[in-house]
Structure 1
Amino acid sequence: MKNGIRAAFAAIETRLLKAASPGIRPGLSRLARLLRRLGNPENDFPAIHVVGTNGKGSTAASLDAIFRCSGRRSALYTSPHLDILGERLRMNGTSVSPTLWEAEEDMLYRALREDPFLRQMPPTFFELLTALCFCVLRSAAPDVVVMEAGMGGRLDATNAAKQVLLSVITPVALDHEEYLGTSLHSIGMEKFAVVRPRTPALYSGEPPELEELFLERCSLAKAEPYVFRRTWHVEHPVVEEEGCSYELFGPGFDGKVLKTSLVGRHQINNSALAAAGAILLGQRIPGITSSSIQAGLKATDWPGRGELLPGSPPILLDGAHNPHGARALASLLRDVWGKTQPKTILFAAMRDKDSKSSLELLRPVADRLICTSVPGMSRCETSAVLVEMAKAAGWTSPVSEEDPLRALAMAEQSASMVVVCGSLYLVGWMRSRLVPERRIDFA
């Protein structure tokens, strides 16, 4: 990647951080006021809204690839980024050039300066970023935008998008409890609140105990409800190092074999959910066929999630930033690599995560644990604290090494495979140093 692009996005990120309110401040009133000042760019593009706790990014990336393989000019907005800010917005599979972001910045900052309320109570960083991306999308005029929610649903900045053609809810689990609630029911309420009136809504059905809540919300909104696990089902799943294959049964599919380049049993579920969502959109978005769905799933690329870097030893990158993700990672390691290959887990996590539960789930699938941290990340838990959590979770002799590169060198000395996980911030930091030639291309 050219240094000029990196510097340009670093400057954009710095300006946004400087203009934003610090931290997370739930509520959409600030964003709504800003968007009015900007001429309501959120009205100007059709969107697919993907929310949930885990699997949002993989599902969104799969839908984006399906639309591109269906001949549509598709945009993809996701978070967080692994390496640089510009990864969050892609157009036709290629990240948008910083010059297109910069062209919209003056209007954004002028709107903040000219509104007395926004000068005193500016939106958060994610809200400003989303508003800026809405402006870029208005100018770029894609056929469809696949939009991944941040941590929330009802009060998430992405919920400001107006032309939502389909709401997709991936598996719901406990995460961000301080903002979304401390029970599955309360978190489900926040996620399902994105359902739009008289619009299709597709829920993965995981966990099953939230299905009735989803259906109640759809009934109140007069939306068209679809529960994936009630309407479609997967048979003959095959999980391999190169990806997964399975047969999908249900509307639009009669045992058709689908293949995804993403790895893990959970990615079968994510890609099948995307395939079902694409079928529901078939009448609204021209060009979607079973063949274009097959091609899109096979072409899906989602770095840092079950991404295997070849070498001696090979390194597996996977965020697995909460217990639900750790369970999926443990399943992947068992399915593909079993117990015969000695594995060392390199783990870092943010302070607000349930790291002890994640470490309990990962303990049976690895031989050694090295706890580390993410340089420059104030939210990151210290490696010493993580080691104490690991001991409480049943790990024998976990090691603390704050420097992630030294931790990686230690891991490589004693493992047939190194698994980097616990935080997408750690995965992004490592990936930018391990595979610079594979960073996302920019237009």
Structure 2
Amino acid sequence: MVRPEGRQPRPHPALSPAGHEPNPRRLTRRAARDIYLPSPSKDVSDESVDSIVEGSTEASPRGPEDEPVDSFLEVSLGLSASSLPETSDRARQAYEAIGRPLAGTTVVHVLGTNGKGSTAGFLADALAADDVDAGIFSEPHVAGSDRLSGIRVDGDPIPAPAYRRIAREIADAAPVEPSIREVETLVAAAYLDECNVDVAVIEAVISSGADVTAALDTDLVAVTTVGVDHTDVLGDTRDAVAAAMADAIPSGGTVVSGGGGEPGRVIRAAAVERDASFVHPLAPVTGVTAGDGLGLRITYRDHEIASGAVGHYQVGNVRVGATAAERLGVTEGAIVEAIRAFGRPGRMETVAAAPRTVVDGAHNPHAFRALAATVAPIDAPVTAVVGVLDKKNWAEMATIVPEFADDVIVTAPSGANPHDDAPAPPEAVAAAIPAPTAVVRDPVAATRRARGRTPDDGLVLVVGSFYVVAPVRAAFIDGGA
């Protein structure tokens, strides 16, 4: 990898047997200097900082060592997951208050209506294959409430004690009470900073009020697709969504954009305005359907690769990810390895056979149309288990379902925050689908029903929300249902 000009490599952190255990004082010491001793000209000894840190730590009672992270955030810290809308301004204030972690690190911000998680994961894999110390923050969609799996360094999730420690320090330091989304984003930034990663890959987190990750300093923005989703935050047209995404382009930075047409022109114009380099995705990345109709053979430059990617739409994600990787100086061989190993949990992932059962987090009309195109070549009966959130455009999604399914069972997402992520009523969704449907409210029971009414050579698709994918994946992979 080629490092940015003028940047020196940082030493590896000391590792504990359990994985990456950061210096327990680094963030707190920085926060102490920035918050308790705000004058940059004041000469402060390490001993003085230690005394301030110890005093401030003792003033904040800690929760139980084994307290689950969600409970710690909501109960011990008293943070809200629903009543406090996220705002990028408030997140930025908290980011500044804790010393702008990752400010000296190459940060890649991955945005897009669909494909963010796949592209971010692919890029992290390519960096790792090139022996680059890389960290990633992505929403842990298929891990239920396990926030730890969304923050990883060299594939290892953040330890729970480190998460709780950093979260408390952020909550104490923030000038205005932060939301849970803001805290988890800043925990990721602080932890990756403590682990001295060379590159941090950050997946955009769109929530009730903003893209919280836009508060971070970034160097390269990668845009996968531009469609209509999160209309309350991004707007209700593709051009409006593109303009909202373009706000994340850093001045003097780089943007790799896979969006075409007018949205692509919007992003390009924003790049020019901010004196940022605009990079088209690599043309020499193509793909053809292979094997059973779901697999892909991807051509990258002079390499033909049997990829772990499933679904032709992933070609665009590989194209954006490979272009971003090349801009970071990742070697061709490492990119080939990442293409070969491509695959993300909960994204066109097979969880059972006979009949083949695939879970996919497609959760908006744009993704449903891509799913229909993926399934089109398959000459076999397809049963879909569909569950969606009420805030999504489920009425339009319902009209697309017959394009990829012969038989439909509607279910209800489970485990979501009932205030922000309420399930769409299954009966209403079923009524909107122009095809015969059944309703089974539990996602796992619905999937078992679908498998029972699908021949062994058929296909069962579980789609509509990661809150549907997560319990089904857990039941069939972990529980052997």
TM tier, shorter chain? Answer: 0.7 to 0.9
- Does residue 408 (structure 1) correspond to residue 447 (structure 2)? The answer is yes
Task: Report percent identity of matched pairs.
Answer: 22
Aligned twin of 2:466: 424
Distance 1:370 1:437 in 2: 22
| Structure with bigger RCO (C-alpha 8 Å, 6+ apart) | 1
Q: In the TM superposition, what whole-angstrom CA distance separates every residue of 1:378-422 from its partner, at most 9, and x where no partner exists? A: 2111211111111xxx21x21112122322222121113221000
The amino acid that maps onto 2:270 is: R
User: How far is 1:345 from its partner?
Assistant: 0.6
Aligned twin of 1:20: 80
Aligned twin of 2:298: 246
The amino acid that maps onto 1:269 is: G
1:39-78 to 2 correspondences below 5 Å: 39-78=99-138
More helix by share: 1
Which deviates more, 145-154 or 311-320? 145-154
- Does residue 191 (structure 1) correspond to residue 245 (structure 2)? The answer is yes
User: How far is 1:315 from its partner?
Assistant: 1.1
User: How far is 1:180 from its partner?
Assistant: 1.2
1:301-320 to 2 correspondences below 5 Å: 301-320=343-362
- Judged with a 3 Å threshold, the aligned counterparts in structure 2 of structure 1 residues 297 and 57 are, in CA distance, closer, same or farther, namely same
User: How far is 1:159 from its partner?
Assistant: 1.5
- 2:371–2:404: 8 Å Cα contact kept in structure 1? no
- 1:25–1:124: 8 Å Cα contact kept in structure 2? yes
- 1:349–1:355: 8 Å Cα contact kept in structure 2? yes
- 2:209–2:233: 8 Å Cα contact kept in structure 1? no
Which of 300, 310, 313 is the aligned partner of 1:266? 313
Aligned twin of 1:441: none
- Judged with a 3 Å threshold, the aligned counterparts in structure 2 of structure 1 residues 301 and 103 are, in CA distance, closer, same or farther, namely farther
User: How far is 1:56 from its partner?
Assistant: 0.7
The amino acid that maps onto 1:375 is: S
Aligned twin of 1:299: 341
- Judged with a 3 Å threshold, the aligned counterparts in structure 2 of structure 1 residues 357 and 330 are, in CA distance, closer, same or farther, namely same
The amino acid that maps onto 2:428 is: V
Give the secondary structure class of the aligned counterpart of 1:262.
strand
Which of 260, 268, 275 is the aligned partner of 1:222? 275
The amino acid that maps onto 2:288 is: P
- Judged with a 3 Å threshold, the aligned counterparts in structure 2 of structure 1 residues 16 and 277 are, in CA distance, closer, same or farther, namely farther
- Judged with a 3 Å threshold, the aligned counterparts in structure 2 of structure 1 residues 15 and 89 are, in CA distance, closer, same or farther, namely farther
1:101-140 to 2 correspondences below 5 Å: 101-112=163-174, 115=175, 118=176, 122-140=177-195
User: How far is 1:6 from its partner?
Assistant: 9.5
Give the secondary structure class of the aligned counterpart of 1:321.
coil
Q: In the TM superposition, what whole-angstrom CA distance separates every residue of 1:162-189 from its partner, at most 9, and x where no partner exists? A: 1x23110111000011221111111110
Give the secondary structure class of the aligned counterpart of 1:305.
coil
Distance 1:279 1:437 in 2: 40
The amino acid that maps onto 1:78 is: S
User: How far is 1:437 from its partner?
Assistant: 7.1
- Does residue 383 (structure 1) correspond to residue 426 (structure 2)? The answer is yes
- 1:17–1:125: 8 Å Cα contact kept in structure 2? no
Give the secondary structure class of the aligned counterpart of 2:85.
coil
Aligned twin of 1:31: 91
- Does residue 212 (structure 1) correspond to residue 284 (structure 2)? The answer is no
- Does residue 158 (structure 1) correspond to residue 210 (structure 2)? The answer is no
User: How far is 1:233 from its partner?
Assistant: 4.4
The amino acid that maps onto 1:381 is: A
- Judged with a 3 Å threshold, the aligned counterparts in structure 2 of structure 1 residues 346 and 247 are, in CA distance, closer, same or farther, namely same
- Does residue 436 (structure 1) correspond to residue 475 (structure 2)? The answer is no
- Does residue 290 (structure 1) correspond to residue 332 (structure 2)? The answer is yes
- Judged with a 3 Å threshold, the aligned counterparts in structure 2 of structure 1 residues 243 and 46 are, in CA distance, closer, same or farther, namely same
- Does residue 353 (structure 1) correspond to residue 405 (structure 2)? The answer is no
RMSD of aligned Cα (Å) = 2.5
Distance 2:116 2:83 in 1: 22
The amino acid that maps onto 2:213 is: T
Structure 2: 5+ residue stretches without partners: 1-63
- 1:349–1:422: 8 Å Cα contact kept in structure 2? yes
- 1:154–1:194: 8 Å Cα contact kept in structure 2? no
The amino acid that maps onto 2:206 is: M
User: How far is 1:321 from its partner?
Assistant: 0.1
- Judged with a 3 Å threshold, the aligned counterparts in structure 2 of structure 1 residues 168 and 264 are, in CA distance, closer, same or farther, namely same
- Judged with a 3 Å threshold, the aligned counterparts in structure 2 of structure 1 residues 323 and 5 are, in CA distance, closer, same or farther, namely farther
Give the secondary structure class of the aligned counterpart of 2:99.
coil
Q: In the TM superposition, what whole-angstrom CA distance separates every residue of 1:11-54 from its partner, at most 9, and x where no partner exists? A: 34544883136257353222122223322224243211101101
Distance 2:76 2:180 in 1: 6
Structure 1: 5+ residue stretches without partners: 283-287, 439-443
Q: In the TM superposition, what whole-angstrom CA distance separates every residue of 1:311-341 from its partner, at most 9, and x where no partner exists? A: 2322100011001111111122223xx13x2
